[in-house]
Chain A
Amino acid sequence: MTATTVEGAVQTEVVRAPRPAPARIPFSRIVTVELRKSFDTRSGFWLMASIGILAVIATGATILFAPDDQLTYDNFAAAIGFPMAVVLPVIAVLSVTSEWSQRTGLTSFTLVPHRGRVIGAKLAVTVGVGVASMLLAAAIGALGNLLGSTIAGTDTVWDVSALELAYIVLANVLGMLIGFMLGVLLRNSAAAIVGYFVISFVLVPLSMLLAQSQAWFEKAQPWVDFNFAQGYLFNGDMSGQHWAQIGVTSLFWLIIPMTIGLWSVLRSEVK
Chain B
Amino acid sequence: MIKVDSLTKRYGAFTAVDDVSFTARPGRVTGFLGPNGAGKSTSMRVMVGLTPATSGYAEVSARRFADLPNPGLEVGVLLDASAQHAGRTGREILTIAQRTMGLPAGRVDEMLERVSLTPTESGRRVRNYSLGMRQRLGIATALLGDPEVLILDEPANGLDPAGIRWMRDLLRGYADQGGTVLLSSHLLHEIEVIADDLVVIGNGRIVAQGTKAELLASAGTLVRTRDVPTLSRALVDADVEFSPMTDALRVEADPDVVGQVALRAGVALTELRAADGAGLEEMFLELTADTQREGVAA
Q: Which residues of A contact B (CB under 8 A)?
A: 1, 3-9, 11, 13-16, 21-25, 29-30, 32-33, 36-37, 40-44, 98, 102-107, 109-114, 267, 269-271
Q: Is B209 a contact partner of A22 (Cβ separation < 8 A)?
A: no
Q: A113 contacts which chain B residues (CB < 8 A)?
A: 48-49, 65-66, 68, 71
Q: Is A98 a contact partner of B70 (Cβ separation < 8 A)?
A: no
Q: Is A6 a contact partner of B96 (Cβ separation < 8 A)?
A: no
Nearest CB in chain B to that of A104: its residue:
B85
Nearest CB in chain A to that of B102: its residue:
A29
Pick the residue among B25, B80, B96 that contacts A33 (CB under 8 A). B96
The CA of A15 and the CA of B179, in the complex, are separated in Å by 8
The CA of A24 and the CA of B101, in the complex, are separated in Å by 10
Question: Of residues 75 to 105 in B, which have CB atoms within 8 Å of A's CB atoms?
Answer: 75, 77, 79-80, 82-88, 92-93, 95-97, 99-102
Nearest CB in chain B to that of A5: its residue:
B209
Number of A-B contacts (CB under 8 A): 148
The CA of A32 and the CA of B178, in the complex, are separated in Å by 34
Q: Is A13 a contact partner of B25 (Cβ separation < 8 A)?
A: yes
Q: Is A8 a contact partner of B214 (Cβ separation < 8 A)?
A: yes
Q: Is B83 a contact partner of A41 (Cβ separation < 8 A)?
A: no
Q: Is B52 a contact partner of A269 (Cβ separation < 8 A)?
A: yes
The CA of A33 and the CA of B97, in the complex, are separated in Å by 9
Encoded as 1 (CB less than 8 Å from any A CB) or 0, chain B from 171 to 204 comes to: 0000111110000000000000000110000000
Residues A16 and B100 in contact in the complex (CB < 8 Å), given A5-B208, A11-B25, A24-B69 = no
The CA of A16 and the CA of B1, in the complex, are separated in Å by 11
The CA of A88 and the CA of B156, in the complex, are separated in Å by 42
Is B292's beta carbon under 8 Å from chain A?
A: no
Q: How far is the CB of B136 from the nearest CB of chain A, in Å? A: 15
* Contact sample, A vs B, 26 pairs, CB 8 Å cutoff: A3-B205, A4-B287, A6-B211, A8-B210, A8-B211, A8-B214, A14-B26, A14-B178, A16-B26, A22-B69, A23-B69, A33-B96, A44-B87, A103-B82, A103-B84, A104-B84, A106-B50, A106-B83, A107-B77, A111-B101, A112-B100, A113-B49, A113-B68, A267-B52, A269-B45, A269-B51
Q: Is A11 a contact partner of B28 (Cβ separation < 8 A)?
A: yes
Most A Cβ at <10 Å: residue of B74, B83, B179, B207: B83
The CA of A269 and the CA of B25, in the complex, are separated in Å by 27
The CA of A22 and the CA of B101, in the complex, are separated in Å by 10
Q: A8-B210, A111-B100 are in contact. List 10 more A-B contacts (CB 8 A).
A: A3-B209, A5-B208, A6-B211, A13-B26, A15-B178, A16-B26, A24-B69, A36-B95, A113-B48, A269-B52
Q: Is B69 a contact partner of A30 (Cβ separation < 8 A)?
A: no
Q: B196 contacts which chain A residues (CB < 8 A)?
A: 11
The CA of A105 and the CA of B25, in the complex, are separated in Å by 28
Nearest CB in chain A to that of B97: its residue:
A111
Looking at chain A's contact residues, the main secondary structure is: loop
Residues A102 and B69 in contact in the complex (CB < 8 Å), given A13-B27, A16-B177, A111-B101 = no
Residues A33 and B100 in contact in the complex (CB < 8 Å), given A14-B27, A15-B26, A103-B80 = yes
Interface size on B, residues (CB 8 A): 60
Q: Is B73 a contact partner of A11 (Cβ separation < 8 A)?
A: no
Residues A25 and B211 in contact in the complex (CB < 8 Å), given A113-B49, A269-B51 = no
The CA of A110 and the CA of B141, in the complex, are separated in Å by 12
Q: How far is the CB of B3 from the nearest CB of chain A, in Å? A: 14
Q: Is B50 a contact partner of A110 (Cβ separation < 8 A)?
A: yes
Q: A15 contacts which chain B residues (CB < 8 A)?
A: 26-27, 178
Is B206's beta carbon under 8 Å from chain A?
A: yes
Q: Is B99 a contact partner of A33 (Cβ separation < 8 A)?
A: yes
Q: B287 contacts which chain A residues (CB < 8 A)?
A: 4
Is B215's beta carbon under 8 Å from chain A?
A: yes
Most B Cβ at <10 Å: residue of A33, A42, A105: A33
Q: Is B87 a contact partner of A42 (Cβ separation < 8 A)?
A: yes
Q: B141 contacts which chain A residues (CB < 8 A)?
A: 107
Is B148's beta carbon under 8 Å from chain A?
A: yes
Of all A-B residue pairs in the complex, the 7 with the closest CB atoms, nearest first, are A6-B210, A41-B87, A14-B27, A103-B83, A16-B178, A24-B69, A22-B70
Is B72's beta carbon under 8 Å from chain A?
A: yes
Q: A1 contacts which chain B residues (CB < 8 A)?
A: 205, 207, 290
Q: Is A36 a contact partner of B85 (Cβ separation < 8 A)?
A: no
Q: A36 contacts which chain B residues (CB < 8 A)?
A: 95-96, 99
Most A Cβ at <10 Å: residue of B85, B87, B218: B85
Q: A22 contacts which chain B residues (CB < 8 A)?
A: 69-70, 73-74
